[in-house]
Amino acid sequence: MTSKNLLESHLVTYCSSNHRTQIDFILYRKSFRKSVNDVKVIPLEECVQQNNLVVCDFTVTIPSVKKRRFIPRIRTWKLRDQAVAEEFKTVFKDKITVETPVDSTGSVEDVWTRLKNPLLDTASKVCGLSKNHQWRRETWWWDDQVEDAIKMKRTRFKTYKALTKAGKRSEAIAAKTAYIEAKRIAKHAVWQARSEAEKEQFADISPNDGSIYKLAKQMDRKNQDVVGELHSSAWKKKKE
């Protein structure tokens, strides 16, 4: 088979007797053009009668995770305290008297703006704003034993990779066995450290304390990627 015939065999999608043509195509958006590497026909791979299989090779790029933008929130839950609520009433009354005269007129939007701004200013001043969180991986249970086990696992893994790259097969097999053992020990150390830390964390929680509901919400958000929305909605329905 000549190079011309070989090239033609990867372009022809329909063959019938002496007739050869290109009637099957793969359509994609213009913006997706950079991701497409190759489009070709697999010769003699018949997907339907007299039609060859058309294949498209493309690259899928996983989008980068966007950094969370922190937006401060007013700590309105502090108004549950009677002292804070009384202070809020006093400050708001003084502010609304100064900024919004009784005989003031205007549209509904203007009246609402003159009422909304003193409310937000008073709440920010009395209750305060939430602080930025450090979004980091969960390491509150980390201790020295876990640190040593993880270091040992990483060291043995690097040794195994180096021996494999150097072509030392027998030594690499022994290093892999040592790495698997270190991995098992590190996994057990992490499990033990988390168990002990959770016991200390849950020991002070009382059913009558509001912190138990906060902890339940945190656990629900943390497991959302595992249990999905169905579990959350079912739990809320059961609660009702």
100, 127, 154: which is the final residue of a domain? 127
Cβ-count burial of 88 within 10 angstroms (0-12 exposed, 13-18 middle, 19+ buried)? buried
Share of the chain above pLDDT 90, in %: 18
Confidence of residue 7 (pLDDT cuts 50, 70, 90): low
Among 20-24, 27-31, 208-212, name the one with the lowest average pLDDT.
Answer: 208-212
Q: Which of 31, 29, 51 shows the shortest CA–CA distance to 42?
A: 51
Residues 167 and 223 in one domain: yes
Examine the domain organization and report whether 226 and 148 are in the same domain: yes
Average pLDDT, stretch 211-233? Answer: 57
| Mean local confidence (pLDDT), 181-206 | 85
Q: What is the pLDDT of residues 79-128, one digit of tens each?
A: 888 999 999 999 988 888 776 665 556 778 887 888 888 889 999 999 98
Which residues lie across from 20 on neighbouring strands? Answer: 15
Does one domain contain both 178 and 224?
yes
Does residue 58 have a pLDDT over 60? yes
Same structural domain, 115 and 150: no
Q: What's the pLDDT score for residue 181?
A: 94
Please indicate, yes or no, if residue 136 is contained in any of the structural domains. no
Residue bearing tokens 């169905």: 230
Q: Quick check: is 237 in a domain?
A: no
Of 82, 77, 74, give the one whose Cα is nearest residue 122: 74
The answer to whether residues 155 and 208 belong to one domain is yes
Among the candidates 28, 58, 88, a domain finishes at: 58
Let me know whether 213 and 150 are in one domain. Answer: yes
Supply the mean pLDDT for the chain: 78
Percentage of residues in the chain having pLDDT higher than 70 = 74
Range of the domain at 203: 144-230
Among the three residues 127, 155, 187, which one is the final residue of a domain in this structure? 127
Residue 156 has pLDDT above 90, yes or no: yes
Question: Is 132 part of a structural domain of the chain?
Answer: no
107 and 31 housed in the same domain: no
Of residues 172 and 39, the one with the higher pLDDT is: 172
Residue at 161 is within a domain: yes
Residues 54 and 86 in one domain: no
Which residue from 136, 129, 119, 181 is spatially nearest to 156, judged by alpha carbons? 181
Residues 51 and 86 in one domain: no
Q: Is residue 187 part of a domain?
A: yes
In this structure, the answer to whether residues 197 and 169 fall within a common structural domain is yes
**Cα dihedral 114, 116, 117, 118 in deg (nearest 10):** 90
Which of 89-103, 182-196, 197-211 holds the top average pLDDT? 182-196
- How far is the C-alpha of 67 from the C-alpha of 150, rounded, in Å? 28
25 within a domain of the structure (yes/no): yes
Q: 181 or 41: which carries more pLDDT confidence?
A: 181
Establish if 36 belongs to a structural domain. Answer: yes
Calculated CA dihedral for residues 11, 17, 19, 25, nearest 10 degrees: -40
DSSP letter, residue 70: P
Same domain, 47 and 20: yes
Task: Flag whether 67 is in a domain.
Answer: no
Residues 149, 226 within the same domain = yes
pLDDT of residue 135: 55
> Are the beta carbons of 92 and 118 closer than 8 angstroms?
yes
Total of domains in the chain: 3
Rounded Cα–Cα distance for residues 164 and 157 (Å): 11
